[in-house]
Amino acid sequence: MRTKGFVYQIVLLGLLLWAPQSSAINFETLVMPGPLTKNHAKFEEKCENCHTSFKKESQNKFCLDCHDHKNIKDDIQAKKGFHGRIKNASTKECKTCHSDHKGRDEDIMRLDPLNFNHRMTDFRLKGAHLKASCNACHTSGKPHREAPHNCIDCHKADDRHQGKLGDKCADCHSEQSWRQQEVFDHSKTDFPLKGHHKKVKCNLCHADEHYKDTPKACISCHKINDTHQGRYGKKCQSCHTERDWKKVKFRHNRDTKYRLTGAHKKVQCDTCHTGPKLYSKKKRKQTCNSCHKLDDVHKGRNGVKCQDCHTTKSWSGTDFNHDKDTKFPLNGKHSDLACEGCHKGGVFEEQLKAECYACHKTQDVHRGQQGKQCQECHNEKGWDNELFFDHDITPFPLIGQHAVAPCEECHISNEYQDASSKCNDCHEQDDEKHKGRLGDNCAQCHNPNDWKAWIFDHNKNTDYKLEGIHDKLDCHLCHRRAPIGGKIRLAHDCYSCHQSDDIHRGNFGRHCDRCHTGDTFSDIELQ
C-alpha cells in the first residue's frame, strides 16, 4: 500500500511537468528548503545554476565548475590538498559538508580551527608549528589554501645567513627549532661528513657564513696538524681517515707493490723514506742492499740479492736451503761450514765445482795417486770416519786373510798405489821357508786363506811329471837356488840332478831313464 508521501511526490511531479515555465520558478522558490547563504543569495531565483531537475548526482559538477572551486576539483582528481585526501572524494556530495539554504548568516565552510586535522593538507604541522596560531600563517581575508609553504616566506626576518644560503631553510633546519641544524644532510653534497667531521661545527669550516667554494682538501684545514711538515705531500687522505689522525688507513702491503713483512712491519716510515718528499717521480729502489748496504757483512762479495739467503725476520736467520736450492746438498761436516769456507769469491759470480778434490786438494795425503774421487773411500762425516773402499774393484781383490788385514800392513805410506801386488814383496821375510828358491809367484802353491793350506800339482802345472820316488821328494832337493829373473827353469833330464850318483861316469850318456826307473837306481828296466 503506497504511503501519503509517495502520493504527494506523484502530484508534485505532475504539476512540474504540466505547469507553465513562468510558474515553475515560483514553484521552485516555493519548495526551496530555506534562504541561501549571503555569498549565494544572487542565485536564489536561479536554481538551474546549481541544480538540474531530477539529476541529483550532477550537483557536484556545478559546485566545482563555479568561480574559484576549480582548484578543489583539481585537488580531488590529483588526490592532494584537503579535499583530495577525503575518502571517496570524487563521488562524495559537496553538500555533505557544505550544505546551503540555511540562511544568510550561515557559515557554509564550517571550519573548526580547534579540531581541524592539518594532516589532511599538503603541509603537516610538526615541531614548533604545532604551537603556532592559525593566523600566523593564514592571513585574514585570504583563502586558507593560499598560505605559504616555504620557510623563507614566514621566516625571512629570522634568516641570520642573510640569504647567502638560499631559501631552502629545510635543508638544515627543522620545525623543532631554528637552532637545531643537524637536519642538513651533508652527504648530498660533494663532501660527505664522516668520522670526526660529523661533530665539527659548521662555522669551523664555513667561516663568516661562507659556503660556496669551500676547500675540500685535508691540507686546507689541517696544515697546522701536519707532523710531516709537507714531506709526504698534500694527500693526507692517502694514509689518514676522518676518524683520527693517529689511525692510519694506509696499508703498505695492499696499496704498494712492496710488501712489509717480518721486522719491516715495525719500521717507521721515515726510516726508509728519508728523502725530502715521500712521493717522488723517481721510483725508490726496492732492493735490500739499497737500505742495508752498511749491514752487509759479506762486503758485497755475495752480490746484492740478500733475499736469496736472508729473510725480513732477521739478518741472522737465513732461509736459503743449500740442499734444495743447489745441486750440492750439505751433509756431515759440510753443514757446519760458513759460506765463506767454500765461496771465497762472489757467491753468484764464482762457479764452484762440486767435486771433493776441488776444495780438498791441499788435504790429499795420497798426493793424487788415488785420483780425485775422494767419495769412493771417504764421506762428509770426516776424513777418518767410516772409511770404505771396495778393494775388489782393483786388480788385487781382497780374499781370505787379506780381507781382514789392516790396510797399513800392505800400504805402509798414504800413496796407496805404491803398494805391490806381488806376494813376495810383503811376505819376503827372514823366516821365509823357500828362501826364494821357488820364485816369487807364491800363488802357484799357496792361497790367501793360509800359508799352510797350499796345493800344487806338479804333474799338471809343469812340464815335468813327478813319478816314483820323485813324488815324495822335498821341493828343495831339486829347487836348490833362487831362479834368475824370478821364473823357474830347471832341466828335465836325470843327469842334471844325478850326475854325482852316476857310477857309469857318463859313459852311458845322460838319459838314465833308458835303463833305470823313477823308483830307485837299483832297478833296471831296459827299454
How do residues 192-210 score in pLDDT, each as one tens digit? 988 888 888 888 888 777 7
Q: Does the pLDDT of residue 223 top 80, yes or no?
A: yes
Three-class secondary structure of residue 453 per DSSP: strand
State the pLDDT at residue 10.
55
State the pLDDT at residue 19.
46
Give 400-412 pLDDT, tens digit per residue.
888 888 887 888 7
Give 324-354 pLDDT, tens digit per residue.
888 889 888 888 888 888 887 777 777 888 8
State the number of CA atoms in the 13 A half-sphere of 227 facing the CB: 6
Numbers of helices and strands, H then E, in the chain: 18, 2
Torsion angle of alpha carbons 196, 200, 205, 206, nearest 10°?
150
Q: CB neighbours of 60 closer than 8 A, spacing ≥ 6?
A: 93, 94
Q: Does the pLDDT of residue 257 top 70, yes or no?
A: yes
Q: What angle do CA 455, 460, 465 make, to 5 degrees?
A: 105
Q: How far is CA 467 from CA 59, 307, 493, in A?
A: 171, 88, 14
Q: Which of 64-78, 289-303, 438-452 has the lowest mean pLDDT?
A: 64-78
State the pLDDT at residue 495.
85
Q: How far is CA 512 from CA 333, 473, 490, 501, 515, in A?
A: 77, 18, 17, 11, 6
Mean pLDDT of 9-17: 52
Give 433-448 pLDDT, tens digit per residue.
888 888 888 888 888 8
Task: Give first-to-last CA distance, the chain, whole Å.
Answer: 193
Give φ, ψ of 310 to 5 degrees: -100, 160
Mean pLDDT of 64-76: 78
Q: Cell numbers of 164, please?
A: 647567502
Q: Does the pLDDT of residue 22 top 50, yes or no?
A: no
Which pLDDT band holds residue 68 (cuts at 50, 70, 90)? Answer: low
Q: Cell numbers of 505, please?
A: 861316469
Which one has a higher pLDDT value, 110 or 260? 260
Q: Does the pLDDT of residue 312 top 60, yes or no?
A: yes
State the pLDDT at residue 23.
44
Mean pLDDT of 409-430: 77
CA–CA separation, 292 vs 464, rounded Å? 90
CA–CA separation, 382 vs 319, rounded Å? 26
State the pLDDT at residue 27.
62
Backbone CA torsion sign across 30, 31, 32, 33: positive
Q: Cell numbers of 113, please?
A: 580551527
Percent residues over pLDDT 90 in the chain: 0
Which one has a higher pLDDT value, 8 or 39? 39
CA–CA separation, 68 vs 75, rounded Å? 13
Average pLDDT of the residues of the chain: 81
Q: How far is CA 109 from CA 58, 66, 126, in A?
A: 21, 16, 25
State the pLDDT at residue 281.
57
State the pLDDT at residue 57.
63
Q: Does the pLDDT of residue 21 top 50, yes or no?
A: no
Q: What is the rounded radius of gyration, in angstroms, for the C-alpha atoms of the chain?
A: 67
Give 152-166 pLDDT, tens digit per residue.
888 888 888 878 778
Which pLDDT band holds residue 181 (cuts at 50, 70, 90)? Answer: low
Q: In this structure, which amino acid lies at residue 491?
A: A
CA–CA separation, 93 vs 449, rounded Å? 142
State the pLDDT at residue 90.
77
Nearest to 196 by CA among 218, 180, 211: 218
State the pLDDT at residue 28.
63
Identify which of 27-41, 49-63, 221-235 has the greatest average pLDDT.
Answer: 221-235
Q: Which of 4-13, 199-208, 352-361, 396-405 has the lowest mean pLDDT?
A: 4-13
The position carrying cell 826307473 is: 517
Q: Does the pLDDT of residue 482 top 70, yes or no?
A: yes
Element at 325 (helix H, strand E): helix 322-325
Which pLDDT band holds residue 431 (cuts at 50, 70, 90)? Answer: low
Give 494-507 pLDDT, tens digit per residue.
888 888 888 888 88
